[in-house]
């Protein structure tokens, strides 16, 4: 009896999902030899259980990247880490903990997951494409054992009842398979389709991400407002540049731009005083070798797209127009010098290197602090109290000697190497230090002079090209659509049987089956039953049963065993 | 000359300033909301306490409700009187069929639903808090009314803040926490209109009051404008969906916790000589494990696509702001971890051997990742995603 029920039920829900069956542990694997082992390993790899473990491992493996500085994100912090804990850093480095996302172990997990995904999805897609072409199975013999069931007797003709059922199920857009005394319908194939689309789309996201990382090229460039020399997109023009392994310098697009104007607004009131509110860069850009110049605007969050490249505004600061003359009055240096902000009120630091002083004179280097709204604190020294140019001042000390530029060792333009230099002293032996306001000139003890001609803002642009963004986006859209379908569509089957009963009346049976979690099957079957009543009214109650209650005690037993079956199967 | 330009700049920049009166109002709303939530919590407590009076009857009920093989809810609908209407707890007129033998019954064949495990009717198991006690029921209704009142004040808090700064009130952790707590209550109230989940109220108010408490004490920041990096409509899409997801996932996590507790309780009761624990009086009155598990699954599955969308919207915003859509910033990394953990949970539910308790542990692990991504990453790990003023 119980075997009978199982077979019956299995036939009824055959092919409703291509989800893999629970993993079976058959004994005697070892007897299978190498090929058997390979097959077994493949089965394991593509099983849900292993996919689950790989998923958990993947998230576990990502954790260190948020606790330990990453080279790809903040190389500076990594070198700092090396300086502070050399021993530990060495050890971490061996484990590739500073490069989690390019480490072999992270790669191993996602490649395995990728293989698992493909190995899982291809057969499922194949099975589903077959299921899409298969008619639902005929009504099981014992329909009352199905999860939702109703039966009643009617005086209507069996053929008419089936015809009405066909109309009703068609209206509900069930796929139908008629047989002599019954009708089978199935609906909700989109669940499986959605699931497969989702998983394939995940592969798409992964591939797009990889392509992006391999072919991307991006770099930064600081431009001072109004500077005549702008930026032209070639490798040498960048302040810094990163690229993927397959990036091709020859493929760089021809364009360029200049910073015409930079507007900045800061909060003047309240606890957030000094917080940036709005930055807007007006640029003149051209595309192609001799393209006509056009005007564009770039804001934070609103990049400018030029061809396939995007230009982002990342940060701003102040540059100082400086003129240095030697003791003979000859201009030794002139130009804007970029100062880097050190705090939210734009207290900035920078250096001025003057290598070309007249022959015979030593080179000069200035070390400076710039404050857009200057203030003097007995403890902190000079600093800025507001990021706008309300009361700008440059505080300078100066050195003479060799800047070390000619040694061939690359130098930071923001740091002065004073190893071979000596600080200028005042007559009283104190270090020379001066406060310069825009327009002012100061003379050094040796007769050279420095003038602060003016202050202009600069903007830091990021120029980046990362192919595959569109593919990633479309894949993600497909993934979400597939996900919604696979989670919310219910796959279900319904059967209607109408047969002549022993008393000459027609016995109608309606049943429904779903493997999907979520309520509503009963309601749906009830709605079908209610609609069928128009064509198959319940026979007046002189008959043996009103239909509501199936042969009670036995049915209860059956129901329990069905429920128990379900549990086992899960 | 300089003074004039500076004054002009001042004038231009005060346009962005904050309406202090509204900001003050918002704070008063917040304190009132917290106070009333607390009252509602006590009213829920009273509901449980008075409902516990008829303890004896319940204990025997609790023991009955522990069948060995078949889930309790599976057996119920098989009874002839289990009309569809009854099974779904709806007050549809057809429920009159329960009158037995009436004309209506004869005319309307009813569907027998027997496999509740797959049909999900179990989710309508509302537990039994009041135990039929009238006073308990009254307190329950008072508690819900107070919750609704506090919810309105709570919403008022955020509205006032939003109008005070003329932007959506999700600009810092204080505002974000307040919004998430609002969504927890909203999820509960929405659920309440569809299913008998009043029993859940006491558990929902715990994280709500805690979150708001932390928000006003630790995270509080004055109303303020946003830094330019936060001016993006993608950001608003990202944040609003994240808030709804986070809020609703609280309910999923609660259901998982209660599932684990109730499941242990039932296992204990099945023993020969069950040891009783002080909290058993709560355990015996909450719904069956199957029903709790299903509630957890439904909430998590419903929210997973939305949360996926929130992460994607964040990536789109990051692309606009920083020129890369995914850069393994700590916040991004933890979103990824959280997302994968929830995906693992959904897989676990579909896989033999991982269902039940293991799936519930995964659900809680995933929620813990979400919590860490919010509190841990925002407060202890420095990344690009720093919030203005905390
Ligand atoms: C990044 C990796 C993955 C993610 C994020 C993911 C996500 C999901 C989600 C959200 C579902 C829906 C669950 C449900 O219907 O309740 C699902 C279903 C499924 N996944 Fe994955 N998955 C991933 C990898 C895999 C892999 C590697 C496999 C193959 C071994 C796999 C096999 C399946 C199967 C068979 C189902 C359907 C379960 C059912 O129909 O009941 N998934 N997946």
- Listed in order, strand segments (DSSP E) in chain B are 112-113
* Helix locations, B96-200, DSSP H: 103-107, 116-119, 134-165, 173-194
A519 and B388 within 8 Å at the Cβ level: the answer is no
Provide the number of CB pairs (under 8 Å) joining chain A to chain B: 269
CB B286 within 8 A of CB A277: no
Name the helix (H) or strand (E) containing A264: strand A255-266
Percent of chain A with pLDDT over 90: 38
- Sign of the CA dihedral B190, B196, B202, B207? negative
* pLDDT greater than 60 at residue A551: no
Q: Cα separation of A475 and A198, whole Å?
A: 9
* pLDDT greater than 60 at residue B308: yes
The answer to whether residues A349 and A421 belong to one domain is yes
Q: What domain range includes position A157?
A: 140-188+494-569
Last residue of some domain: A107, A128, A149? A128
In a domain, A488, yes or no: no
Atom of ligand 1 nearest to the CA of B350: 41
pLDDT at B228: 64
B115 and A300 within 8 Å at the Cβ level: the answer is no
Q: Cα separation of B33 and B25, whole Å?
A: 12
* pLDDT greater than 80 at residue B78: no
> Cα torsion at A129, A134, A139, A141 (round to 10°)?
-90
A268 and B14 within 8 Å at the Cβ level: the answer is yes
In a domain, A145, yes or no: yes
In a domain, A208, yes or no: no
pLDDT at B126: 67
The answer to whether residues A153 and A277 belong to one domain is no
The answer to whether residues A454 and A535 belong to one domain is no
User: What is the whole-number distance in angstroms between the Cα of residue B347 and the centre of ligand 1?
Assistant: 6
* pLDDT greater than 70 at residue A271: no
Domain total in chain A: 4
In a domain, A447, yes or no: yes
The answer to whether residues A305 and A321 belong to one domain is no
The answer to whether residues A350 and A335 belong to one domain is yes
Q: Which residues line ligand 1 (CB under 6 A)?
A: A 17, 19-20, 46, 48, 51, 55, 113, 116-117, 120, 195, 199, 202, 483, 486-487; B 343, 346-347, 349-350
Tell me the C-alpha to C-alpha distance, in Å, between residue A108 and each of A32, A101, A201: 27, 11, 21
User: What is the whole-number distance in angstroms between the Cα of residue A289 and the centre of ligand 1?
Assistant: 50
* pLDDT greater than 70 at residue A566: no
Least confident range from A227-231, A386-390, A558-562, B86-90: namely: B86-90
End-to-end CA distance of chain B: 39
Q: Which of A56, A390, A538 sits opposite B106 (nearest CB)?
A: A538
The answer to whether residues A350 and A442 belong to one domain is yes
The per-residue b/e assignment along B262-281, b for 16 or more CB within 10 angstroms, e otherwise, is bbebbeebeeeeeeeeeebb
B-chain CB neighbours of A101 within 8 Å are 328
Average of per-residue pLDDT across A365-386: 90
Residue of higher predicted confidence among A271 and A245: A245
Other CB atoms within a 10 A radius of the CB of residue A359 amount to: 6
C-alpha distance from B110 to closest chain A C-alpha (Å): 5
In a domain, A489, yes or no: no
Q: Cα separation of A157 and A181, whole Å?
A: 12
B-chain CB neighbours of A517 within 8 Å are 118, 120, 294, 297-298
Instruction: Return the closest-CA partner of residue A195 out of A115, A125, A118.
Output: A125
Average of per-residue pLDDT across A228-237: 86
Confidence of residue A245 (pLDDT cuts 50, 70, 90): confident
A-chain CB neighbours of B352 within 8 Å are 22-23, 570
Q: Cα separation of A419 and A416, whole Å?
A: 9
B-chain CB neighbours of A540 within 8 Å are 106
Backbone angles phi, psi at B144, to 5 degrees: -65, -40
B334 and A546 within 8 Å at the Cβ level: the answer is no
Confidence of residue B28 (pLDDT cuts 50, 70, 90): very high
Confidence of residue A542 (pLDDT cuts 50, 70, 90): low
Q: Cα separation of A251 and A229, whole Å?
A: 23
CA A30 to chain centre: 43
Q: Summarize pLDDT for A94-114 with one digit per residue, the tens.
A: 999 998 888 999 989 989 999
C-alpha distance from B359 to closest chain A C-alpha (Å): 11
Encoded tokens for B347: 């897989």
Q: What is the mean pLDDT of chain A?
A: 84
Average of per-residue pLDDT across A7-35: 63
A65 and B333 within 8 Å at the Cβ level: the answer is yes
pTM: 0.80
Last residue of some domain: A259, A279, A312? A312
Last residue of some domain: A90, A105, A128? A128
Average of per-residue pLDDT across A230-235: 87
Confidence of residue B211 (pLDDT cuts 50, 70, 90): very high
Q: Cα separation of B95 and B87, whole Å?
A: 10
The answer to whether residues A322 and A454 belong to one domain is yes
* pLDDT greater than 70 at residue A29: no
Q: Summarize pLDDT for B89-146 with one digit per residue, the tens.
A: 333 333 333 333 333 344 678 888 875 444 344 445 667 787 778 888 899 999 999 9
CA A260 to chain centre: 34
Close Cβ partners of B208 (under 8 Å, ≥ 6 residues apart) = B37, B181, B184, B185
Q: What is the mean pLDDT of chain B?
A: 77
Confidence of residue B238 (pLDDT cuts 50, 70, 90): very high
Instruction: Return the closest-CA partner of residue A285 out of A273, A294, A275.
Output: A294
ipTM rounded to 2 decimals:
0.81
Instruction: Return the closest-CA partner of residue B285 out of B59, B69, B120, B89.
Output: B59
DSSP class of A537: P
- Where residue A504 sits, what CATH number does that domain have? 3.30.310
B-chain CB neighbours of A508 within 8 Å are 109
> Cα torsion at A428, A432, A435, A441 (round to 10°)?
100
The answer to whether residues A339 and A449 belong to one domain is yes
Name the helix (H) or strand (E) containing A349: strand A348-354
Instruction: Return the closest-CA partner of residue A373 out of A279, A268, A224, A452.
Output: A268
3-class SS of residue B204: helix
Average of per-residue pLDDT across A403-421: 77
In a domain, A44, yes or no: yes
Residue of B93, B112, B232, B300 to mutate when probing chain A, most A C-beta within 10 A: B112
Q: Cα separation of B42 and B194, whole Å?
A: 24
Confidence of residue B195 (pLDDT cuts 50, 70, 90): confident
Atom of ligand 1 nearest to the CA of A192: 40
Average of per-residue pLDDT across A309-325: 91
Question: Mapped to the 3 state alphabet, what secondary structure does A100-161 carry?
Answer: HHHCHHHHHHHHHHHHHHHHHHHHHHHHHHHHHCCCCCCCCCCHHHCCEEEEEEECCCHHHH
Other CB atoms within a 10 A radius of the CB of residue B96 amount to: 12
The answer to whether residues A153 and A83 belong to one domain is no
Atom of ligand 1 nearest to the CA of A121: 29
Residue of higher predicted confidence among B384 and A450: A450
Least confident range from A74-78, A292-296, A399-403: namely: A74-78
3-state helix, strand, coil in chain A (%, to 5): 35, 30, 35
The answer to whether residues A456 and A517 belong to one domain is no
pLDDT at A554: 40
Q: Which of A63, A268, A548 sits opposite B337 (nearest CB)?
A: A63
User: What is the whole-number distance in angstroms between the Cα of residue B184 and the centre of ligand 1?
Assistant: 28
Instruction: Return the closest-CA partner of residue B212 out of B182, B191, B189, B172.
Output: B182
* pLDDT greater than 50 at residue A560: no
Backbone angles phi, psi at A382, to 5 degrees: -80, 135
Average of per-residue pLDDT across A406-424: 79
Least confident range from A157-161, A392-396, B125-129: namely: B125-129
* pLDDT greater than 80 at residue A312: yes
B-chain CB neighbours of A275 within 8 Å are 224-225, 227, 388
Residue of higher predicted confidence among A194 and A269: A194
* pLDDT greater than 60 at residue B366: yes
In a domain, A361, yes or no: yes
Average of per-residue pLDDT across A551-565: 39
Encoded tokens for B251: 């309910």
Encoded tokens for B290: 């199957």
The answer to whether residues A428 and A501 belong to one domain is no
Q: Cα separation of B48 and B66, whole Å?
A: 22
Other CB atoms within a 10 A radius of the CB of residue A386 amount to: 20
Give the Cα-Cα-Cα angle A450, A455, A460 (nearest 5 degrees).
120
Residue of higher predicted confidence among A570 and A220: A220
Residue of higher predicted confidence among B250 and B195: B250
Residue of higher predicted confidence among A269 and B262: B262
Which of A32-41, A82-91, A475-484 is most confident?
Answer: A475-484
Question: For a substitution probing ligand 1, which of B347, B349, B355, B366 has the most ligand atoms within 8 Å of its CB?
Answer: B347
* pLDDT greater than 80 at residue A233: yes
Question: Mapped to the 3 state alphabet, what secondary structure does B330-348 carry?
Answer: HHHHHHHHHHHHHHHHHHH
Tell me the C-alpha to C-alpha distance, in Å, between residue A281 and each of A229, B277, B321: 16, 67, 14
pLDDT at B290: 87
Least confident range from A13-22, A156-165, A284-293, A530-539: namely: A13-22
In a domain, A116, yes or no: yes
Q: Cα separation of A536 and A152, whole Å?
A: 9
User: What is the whole-number distance in angstroms between the Cα of residue A41 and the centre of ligand 1?
Assistant: 19
- The string of DSSP codes covering B66-77 is --SSS-HHHHGG
Confidence of residue A125 (pLDDT cuts 50, 70, 90): very high
Confidence of residue B30 (pLDDT cuts 50, 70, 90): very high
Confidence of residue A21 (pLDDT cuts 50, 70, 90): low
The answer to whether residues A374 and A407 belong to one domain is yes
Q: Summarize pLDDT for A474-509 with one digit per residue, the tens.
A: 999 999 999 999 999 988 999 999 998 888 889 999
* pLDDT greater than 70 at residue B51: yes
């Amino acid at each position: 009896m119980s075997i009978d029920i199982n077979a019956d039920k299995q036939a009824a829900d055959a092919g409703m999902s291509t989800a893999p069956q629970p993993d079976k542990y058959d004994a005697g694997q070892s007897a299978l030899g190498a090929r058997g082992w390979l097959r077994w390993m493949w089965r394991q790899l593509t099983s849900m259980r292993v996919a689950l473990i790989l998923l958990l491992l993947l998230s576990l493996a990502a954790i260190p990247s948020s606790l330990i500085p990453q080279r790809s994100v903040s190389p500076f912090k990594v070198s700092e880490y090396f300086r502070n804990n050399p021993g530990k850093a060495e050890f971490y480095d061996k484990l590739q903990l500073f490069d989690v996302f390019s480490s072999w172990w992270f790669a191993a997990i996602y490649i395995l997951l990728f293989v698992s995904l493909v190995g899982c999805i291809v057969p499922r897609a194949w099975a589903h494409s077959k299921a899409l072409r298969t008619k639902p199975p005929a009504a099981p013999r014992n329909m009352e054992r199905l999860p939702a069931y109703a039966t009643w007797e009617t005086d209507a003709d069996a053929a008419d009842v089936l015809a009405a059922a066909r109309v009703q199920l068609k209206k509900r857009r069930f796929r139908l398979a008629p047989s002599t005394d019954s009708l089978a319908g199935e609906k909700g194939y989109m669940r499986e389709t959605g699931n497969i689309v989702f998983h394939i789309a995940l592969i798409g996201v992964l591939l797009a991400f990889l392509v992006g990382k391999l072919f991307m090229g991006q770099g930064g460039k600081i431009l001072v407002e109004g500077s005549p020399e702008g930026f032209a997109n070639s490798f040498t023009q960048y302040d810094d540049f990163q690229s993927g392994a397959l990036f091709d310098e020859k493929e760089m697009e021809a364009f360029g731009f200049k910073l015409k104007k930079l507007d900045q607004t800061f909060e003047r009131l309240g606890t957030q005083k000094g917080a940036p509110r709005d930055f807007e860069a007006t640029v003149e850009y051209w595309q192609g070798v001799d393209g006509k110049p056009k005007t564009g605007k770039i804001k934070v969050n609103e990049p400018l797209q030029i061809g396939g490249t995007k230009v982002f505004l990342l940060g701003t600061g102040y540059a100082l127009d400086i003129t240095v003359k030697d003791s003979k009055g000859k201009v030794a240096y002139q130009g804007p010098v970029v100062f880097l902000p050190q705090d939210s009120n734009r207290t900035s630091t920078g250096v001025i290197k003057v290598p070309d002083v007249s022959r015979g004179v030593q080179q000069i280097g200035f070390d400076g602090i710039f404050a857009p709204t200057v203030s003097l604190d007995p403890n902190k020294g000079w600093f800025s109290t507001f990021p706008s140019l309300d009361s700008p001042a440059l505080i300078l000390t100066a050195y003479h000697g060799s800047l070390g530029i000619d040694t061939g060792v690359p130098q930071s333009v923001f740091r002065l190497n004073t190893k071979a230099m000596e600080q200028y002293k005042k007559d009283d032996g104190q270090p020379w230090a001066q406060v310069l306001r825009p327009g002012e000139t100061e003379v050094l003890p040796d007769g050279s002079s420095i003038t602060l001609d003016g202050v202009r803002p600069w903007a830091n642009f990021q120029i980046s090209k990362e192919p595959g963004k569109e593919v990633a986006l479309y894949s993600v859209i497909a993934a979400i659509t597939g996900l919604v379908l696979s989670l919310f569509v219910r796959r279900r089957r319904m059967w209607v049987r109408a047969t002549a009963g022993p008393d000459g009346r027609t016995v109608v049976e309606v049943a429904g089956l779903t493997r999907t979690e979520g309520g509503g099957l009963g309601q749906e079957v009830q709605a079908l039953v209610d609609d069928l009543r128009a064509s198959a009214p319940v026979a007046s109650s002189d008959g043996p049963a009103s239909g509501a209650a199936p042969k009670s005690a036995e049915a209860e037993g059956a129901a329990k065993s069905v429920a128990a079956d379900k549990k086992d199967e899960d | 000359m300089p003074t004039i330009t500076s004054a002009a700049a001042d004038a231009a920049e005060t346009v962005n300033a904050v309406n202090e009166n509204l900001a003050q109002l918002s704070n008063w709303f917040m304190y009132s909301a917290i106070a009333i939530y607390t009252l509602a919590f006590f009213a829920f407590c009273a509901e449980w306490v008075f409902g516990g009076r008829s303890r004896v009857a319940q204990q025997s009920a609790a023991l009955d409700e522990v069948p060995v093989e078949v889930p309790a809810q599976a057996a119920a609908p098989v009874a002839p009187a289990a009309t569809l209407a009854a099974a779904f707890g709806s007050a549809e007129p057809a429920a009159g069929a329960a009158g037995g033998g009436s004309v209506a019954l004869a005319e309307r064949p009813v569907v027998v639903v027997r496999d509740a495990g797959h049909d999900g009717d179990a989710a309508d198991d509302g537990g039994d808090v009041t135990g039929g006690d009238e006073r308990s029921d009254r307190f329950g209704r008072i508690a819900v009314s107070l919750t609704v009142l506090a919810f309105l004040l709570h919403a008022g808090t955020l509205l006032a803040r939003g109008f005070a700064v003329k932007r959506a009130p999700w600009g810092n952790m204080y505002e974000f926490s307040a919004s998430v707590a609002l969504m927890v209550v909203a999820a509960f109230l929405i659920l309440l209109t569809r299913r008998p989940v009043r029993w859940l109220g006491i558990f929902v108010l715990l994280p709500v009051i805690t979150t708001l408490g932390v928000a006003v004490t630790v995270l509080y920041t004055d109303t303020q404008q946003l830094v330019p990096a936060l001016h993006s409509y993608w950001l608003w899409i990202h944040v609003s969906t994240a808030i709804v997801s986070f809020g609703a996932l609280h309910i999923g996590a609660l259901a998982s916790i209660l599932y684990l507790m109730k499941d242990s309780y039932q296992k204990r009761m099945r023993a020969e000589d069950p040891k009783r624990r002080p909290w058993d009086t709560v355990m015996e009155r909450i719904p069956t494990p199957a029903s709790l598990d299903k509630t957890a699954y439904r909430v998590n599955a419903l929210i997973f696509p939305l949360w996926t969308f929130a992460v994607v919207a964040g990536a789109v915003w990051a692309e606009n702001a920083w020129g890369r859509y995914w850069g393994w910033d700590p916040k991004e990394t933890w979103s990824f971890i959280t997302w994968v953990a929830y995906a693992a949970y959904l897989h676990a539910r579909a896989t033999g051997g991982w269902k039940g308790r293991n799936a519930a542990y995964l659900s809680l692990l995933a929620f813990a990742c979400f919590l860490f991504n919010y509190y841990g990453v925002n407060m202890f790990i420095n990344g690009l995603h720093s919030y203005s003023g905390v």
